Amino acid sequence: MLDRKLIRKDTDRVRRGIESKRVDFDLDGFLAMDAAMRNLIQESEKLKAEKNEASLEVSRLKKEKQDASDILARMKKTSERIKEVDVELKTAVERLEAAELSIPNIPHESVPVGKGPQDNPVVSTWGDPGTGVAKPLFHWEIGEKLGILDMAAGAAVTGRGFVVLRGDGALLSRALVNLFLDIHRRQGYEELAVPYVANRDSMTGTGQLPKMEDDMYHCVKDDLFLVPTAEVPITNVYKDSVLEGEALPIKCTAYSPCFRREAGSYGQDTRGLIRVHQFDKVEMVKFTRPDDSYGELETLLGDACEVLRILEIPHRVIELCSGDLSFSAAKCYDIETWSPGVEKWLEVSSCSNFEDFQARRARIRFRREKGGKPEFVHTLNGSGLALPRVIATILELNQTPTGKVRVPKALVPYMGGREYLEA
Partner RNA sequence: GGAGAGGUGGCCGAGAGGCUGAAGGCAACCGCCUGCUAAGCGGUUGUAGGGGUAAUACUCUACCGAGGGUUCGAAUCCCUCCCUCUCCGCCA
Active-site amino acid positions: 260, 275, 347, 350, 389
Residue 9 within binding range of RNA, rule CB under 7 A: no
Q: Is 18 exposed, middle or buried (0-12, 13-18, 19+ CB in 10 A)?
A: buried
Contacting residue, 16, 51, 81, 344, with RNA by CB under 7 A = 51
Identified binder of RNA from the candidate list 6, 72, 152, 219, rule CB under 7 A: 72
Stretch that binds RNA, among 72-80, 104-112, 136-144, 342-350 (CB under 7 A): 72-80
Q: How far is CA 117 from the centre of its chain?
A: 19
Residue 382, CA distances (Å) to 50, 344, 352, 369 in order: 53, 21, 6, 28
Minimum CB distance to RNA, residue 99 (Å): 15
Nearest in space to 382 (alpha carbons), one of 183, 199, 124: 183
Out of 15, 16, 22, 48, the only residue in the binding site for RNA (CB under 7 A) is 48
Cβ of 330: how many Cβ atoms within 10 Å?
25
Apex CA 254: angle with CA 209 and CA 365, to 5°?
60
CB of 289 to RNA, least distance (A): 16
Comparing CB distances to RNA, the nearer of 205 and 340 is 205
Candidates 373, 401, 416, 417: give the one binding RNA (CB under 7 A). 373
E strand map for 197-328? 197-199, 218-219, 224-226, 241-244, 250-259, 278-288, 315-319
Q: Does 4 bind RNA (CB under 7 A)?
A: yes
Closest approach, Cβ 287 to RNA, in A, equals 17
DSSP-derived letter for residue 248 is P
Sole window of 76-84, 108-116, 226-234, 323-331 interacting with RNA (rule: CB under 7 A): 76-84
Complex with RNA: residue 73 or 134, whichever CB lies closer: 73
125 near RNA, rule: CB under 7 A: no
Q: Which is nearer to RNA, 70 or 109 (CB)?
A: 70
Binding of residue 60 to RNA (CB under 7 A): yes
Nearer to RNA among residue 75 and residue 300 (C-beta): 75
Task: Figure out which of the listed residues 13, 90, 115, 160 binds RNA, where binding follows CB under 7 A.
Answer: 90
Number of residues counted as binding RNA (CB under 7 A): 31
* The only residue of 147, 245, 290, 374 in contact with RNA, by rule CB under 7 A: 374
Min. distance of Cβ 98 from RNA in angstroms? 15
Beta bridge partners of 281: 256, 386
- Taking the CA atoms of the chain, what radius of gyration do you get in angstroms? 27
Closest CA to 21 of 358, 294, 327, 379: 327
What is d(CA 202, CA 198) in angstroms, rounded to the nearest whole number? Answer: 6
The nearest distance, CB 421 to RNA, in angstroms, is: 32
Name the residue among 377, 376, 321, 314 with its Cα closest to residue 348. Answer: 314
Q: How far is CA 275 from CA 279, 337, 402, in A?
A: 9, 15, 28
Footprint on this chain of RNA (rule: CB under 7 A): 4-5, 38, 41-42, 44-46, 48-49, 51-56, 58-60, 62, 72, 75-76, 78-79, 83, 90, 370-371, 373-374
